[in-house]
Amino acid sequence: MSILIKSTTVITQNASREIIKDCDILINENKIAAVGKNINQKAELVLDAKNKIAMPGFINSHTHVAMALVRGMGEDLPLQRWLQEKIWPTEAKLKPVQVYYGTLLGICEMLRSGVTSFLDMYLVGLDEIGKACEQAGIRGSLSDAVINMPGHGVERATAFSKKWKNKSSLVTPHISCHSIYACTEEMLVKSKELADKEKLKFHIHISETRKEIFDCLNKTKKYPIEYLDSLDLVDENTVLAHASWVTKREIAVAAKRKATIVNCPISNLKLATGGVCPVREYHQQGANVCIGTDGPASNNSLNMFESIKLSSLLQKHHYWKADVLPTQSFLDFATINGAKALGINTGSIEKGKLADIILLDARSNASNLNPQHDLVSNLVYAASPANVTDVIINGKIVMQDRNILTIEEDKIIEQVNKITF
Ligand SMILES: [Zn+2]
């Protein structure tokens, strides 16, 4: 199918970060065929986007989408008690149908927040998560997390990755280990070997709390990222979620290895982990910084706008430095850097890229997006999911005029409330 988006303002996120006014975007099948003024080619569908802003869809680089189902459970607990007393016992009893509807619920929320791709890690019902992504039409990079619990070893992660590899245009399997405190050394090494062999990403929670750091030091005499590096687990295909409590040496290691760091500011704040991820140092030294919401049970939303804004504000606050990083960097972290982390040809609006595009209405119900002195600043600090009107993923319209077309949001909400605990 071909789609022509007419007369819009395009935040391209191309190499020179061009913003083009009164610009057209031509989509042919699943790719962007042209970007420019007055494109005269015919298309099967023409979208008049005169008062809208077109930008690449956000990439949520660390989440556990099915946890939408446990949103609001175990409030006001620190991470270890939250996981051990509430979340893990509940997840151990989850049925596939619950994971399926929880995932669809989370996907609806992400689509409304302009998310077109996400990197997920989960422990149960992975096939249901894949099925939900395909039905909704969202790009999911999924993994069946390895964790030191019966039946959650590397064999299971291998089976999932084999089953889904090259099976779907939207779902890509990867490999993840929950954390260094919930996996044995053998699990960590074998998982990364598998990821390398299959050319997949290796995704892990690391350096999230002070407790994790001191437990690791006591056990291995190394700080967590140095420990991972000593096992040869840190490289450009490694995605380190959180990485907040770190030494300067660890930042240098992550940057030297060109690893991805996913800043999850809201989850860190809510679980009171205390450390602020040194985004500035990682970015300036050359690590690939991205932004994630983390799961909707530790956030408690999948609202990327909030996470982008908080990522920036925390850096300014932490360093007592209003110009700590340009505002533009935070839009980059949520788009092009995310695409690099996930290994997908998206993250900018340019000819040849996959057509993952969102439209925001800058006129109707958009007092928060005006005046437009600085569009990037408006997107980072003022925009909200309420401004997102249309979502196109892989060349297909998934949300139009704020209506999700691929899945039935009302029925999903009804089902979730029926099957929840
Ligand atoms: Zn997480």
| Domain finish residue from 342, 361, 392 | 342
Residue 348 C-alpha to ligand 1 middle, in angstroms? Answer: 26
- Does 138 share its domain with 262? yes
Residue 63 C-alpha to ligand 1 middle, in angstroms? Answer: 6
Residue 416 lies in a domain: no
Residue 295 C-alpha to ligand 1 middle, in angstroms? Answer: 6
| Domain finish residue from 294, 316, 342 | 342
Residue 175 C-alpha to ligand 1 middle, in angstroms? Answer: 14
Residue 415 lies in a domain: no
Residue 157 C-alpha to ligand 1 middle, in angstroms? Answer: 17
Residue 298 C-alpha to ligand 1 middle, in angstroms? Answer: 8
Q: How many other β-carbons are positioned within 10 Å of the β-carbon of residue 312?
A: 24
Residue 74 amino acid letter: G
- Does 30 share its domain with 68? no
Whichever domain contains 200, its CATH number is 3.20.20.140
- Joined tokens for residue 24: 């057209």
Residue 114 C-alpha to ligand 1 middle, in angstroms? Answer: 20
List beta partners, residue 117: 59, 139
Residue 23 C-alpha to ligand 1 middle, in angstroms? Answer: 38
Whichever domain contains 11, its CATH number is 2.30.40.10
- Please give the sequence-ordered ranges of beta strands (E in DSSP) within 171-279, or none if there are none: 171-173, 175-177, 202-206, 238-242, 260-263
| Structural domains counted in the chain | 2
Residue 413 lies in a domain: no
Could you report the per-residue pLDDT of 179-237, keeping only the tens digit for each?
999 999 999 999 999 999 999 999 999 999 999 999 999 999 999 999 999 999 999 99
What's the mean per-residue pLDDT of the chain?
97
**Residue 79: per-residue pLDDT:** 86
- Does 134 share its domain with 41? no
Residue 320 C-alpha to ligand 1 middle, in angstroms? Answer: 28
- Does 111 share its domain with 14? no
- Does 214 share its domain with 106? yes
Residue 119 C-alpha to ligand 1 middle, in angstroms? Answer: 10
Residue 382 C-alpha to ligand 1 middle, in angstroms? Answer: 26
pTM of the entire predicted model:
0.98
Residue 52 C-alpha to ligand 1 middle, in angstroms? Answer: 33
Confidence of residue 23 (pLDDT cuts 50, 70, 90): very high
- Does 302 share its domain with 221? yes
- Does 41 share its domain with 187? no
User: 1, 45 in Cβ contact below 8 A?
Assistant: yes
Residue 238 C-alpha to ligand 1 middle, in angstroms? Answer: 15
pLDDT over 80 (residue 421)? no
Confidence of residue 36 (pLDDT cuts 50, 70, 90): very high
Residue 296 C-alpha to ligand 1 middle, in angstroms? Answer: 10
Residue 217 lies in a domain: yes
Share of the chain above pLDDT 70, in %: 100
Q: How many other β-carbons are positioned within 10 Å of the β-carbon of residue 72?
A: 9
Residue 329 C-alpha to ligand 1 middle, in angstroms? Answer: 23
Residue 91 C-alpha to ligand 1 middle, in angstroms? Answer: 14
Residue 260 C-alpha to ligand 1 middle, in angstroms? Answer: 15
| Domain finish residue from 324, 342, 360 | 342
Residue 242 C-alpha to ligand 1 middle, in angstroms? Answer: 8
- Joined tokens for residue 183: 């996996």
298 Cβ contact list (under 8 Å, min separation 6): 67, 82, 267, 270, 271
- Does 384 share its domain with 314? no
**Cα distances (Å, whole numbers) of residue 376 to 110, 145, 326, 329, 337:** 20, 36, 10, 10, 16
Residue 62 C-alpha to ligand 1 middle, in angstroms? Answer: 6
- Does 107 share its domain with 157? yes
Residue 275 lies in a domain: yes
- Does 82 share its domain with 136? yes
pLDDT over 90 (residue 68)? yes
Residue 309 lies in a domain: yes
Residue 114 lies in a domain: yes
Give the residue numbers spanning the domain of 354.
Answer: 2-56+348-404
pLDDT over 80 (residue 266)? yes
Residue 121 C-alpha to ligand 1 middle, in angstroms? Answer: 7
Mean pLDDT for 273-302 is 96
**Residue 420: per-residue pLDDT:** 83
Residue 44 C-alpha to ligand 1 middle, in angstroms? Answer: 41
- Does 304 share its domain with 210? yes
Residue 48 C-alpha to ligand 1 middle, in angstroms? Answer: 39
Residue 152 C-alpha to ligand 1 middle, in angstroms? Answer: 17
Residue 419 lies in a domain: no
- Does 281 share its domain with 379? no
Residue 19 C-alpha to ligand 1 middle, in angstroms? Answer: 33
Residue 65 C-alpha to ligand 1 middle, in angstroms? Answer: 10
Q: Determine which helix (DSSP H) or strand (DSSP E) holds 251, and give its type and residue range.
A: helix 248-256
Residue 178 C-alpha to ligand 1 middle, in angstroms? Answer: 8
| Rg of the chain over all Cα atoms, to the nearest angstrom | 21
The CA distance from 121 to 126, in Å, is 9
